[in-house]
Amino acid sequence: MDEALLQRAWQTAHRVAAMLYKDFGATQVAVFGSLTKRESFSKWSDIDIAVWGIPSNKYFRAVWEAEDISRLFKLDMVDFGRCKRLFQERIESQSVRIGKGETYPVDRSQLIQDISDECAKIERSISGIKKALQRIETAPVEYRITIEVTIAKHVSDCYMGVENIFRQIALAVDLCLPDGSRAHKELLAQMAESHAKRSPVISKTTLGHLQEFLEFRYLFIRFDTDELDYRKTERKAKQVSTVFDSIFKELDAFITYLEK
């Protein structure tokens, strides 16, 4: 059983319930179906929610808002009062009620550990950049291309390490992971904005730097190694320590928030 998946699904259900109580005057909200049976829930499962007390003229708007919250999962919401008797009996036999104001207890220890582990990998890449920048100054011409590619790969790895952290935050905290052709850029923008109850993970200044590193990664994976412009590589490589020191400080502040 994927505990992280279950946790995200229950977090989503609680956020939907809070919205239904607050914005649409629901009198009761309950989860039923596969999410209430741990062994039955998978990444292909829906979140099934029954709701009581929402006026008919607001119901479809409530469904739209609920689906907007539940971006990681397909959500099926039913008005209990409009269900047939047999379906009502099924819901009642399976339902787990979510009370008004009830929050889902979330264990953030794994996310904190994952962030710390990824930061350690980034630090190793930064160390590799520093060593390679020293070596290339005295390297014979025939070895320069190899060292240039090594530096470019380390710079790209630094960016990808941060993006991996942001993906985990988007999944575990925001419950919302961008997709599509602009997913990488949208993920960066998401981390620079407040989301639900969290403050921005990174500053606007950091966002600007990371957008530039993302562009560099695009170039790195798009061109053959002999087409790389070492001047661009060297410029980004020399920025890494300063930029990522700031990123580490911002991530430390975010971890402090998670630990509260």
- For position 63, what pLDDT does the model report? 97
- Segment 183-198 shows an average pLDDT of 93
pTM of the model: 0.85
Whether the Cβ atoms of residue 150 and residue 228 lie closer than 8 Å to each other: no
197 Cβ contact partners less than 8 Å away, ≥ 6 residues apart: none
Which residue reads 């530039």 in tokens? 212
Residue 97's identity, in one-letter code, is: R
- For position 191, what pLDDT does the model report? 98
Which residue reads 């009761």 in tokens? 28
- For position 1, what pLDDT does the model report? 62
Q: Does position 224 have pLDDT exceeding 70, yes or no?
A: no
Tell me the HSE value of 200 on the side-chain side, using a 13 A CA sphere: 12
| DSSP 8-state assignment for residue 46 | P
Distance CA 78, CA 52 (A): 9
pLDDT tens across 143-188, in order? 888 999 999 999 999 999 999 999 999 999 999 999 988 999 999 9
Name all domains of the chain by residue range, CATH numbers in brackets: 3-98 (3.30.460.10), 109-259 (1.20.120.580)
- Segment 186-204 shows an average pLDDT of 94
Of 193, 199, 209, 204, the C-alpha closest to 260 is: 199
Whether the Cβ atoms of residue 106 and residue 83 lie closer than 8 Å to each other: no
Q: Does position 9 have pLDDT exceeding 70, yes or no?
A: yes
Q: Does position 227 have pLDDT exceeding 70, yes or no?
A: no
Could you give the strand order of the β-sheet that contains 28-32, starting from the edge strand earlier in sequence? 75-79, 47-52, 28-32, 96-98
Question: Across-strand partners of 31?
Answer: 49, 96
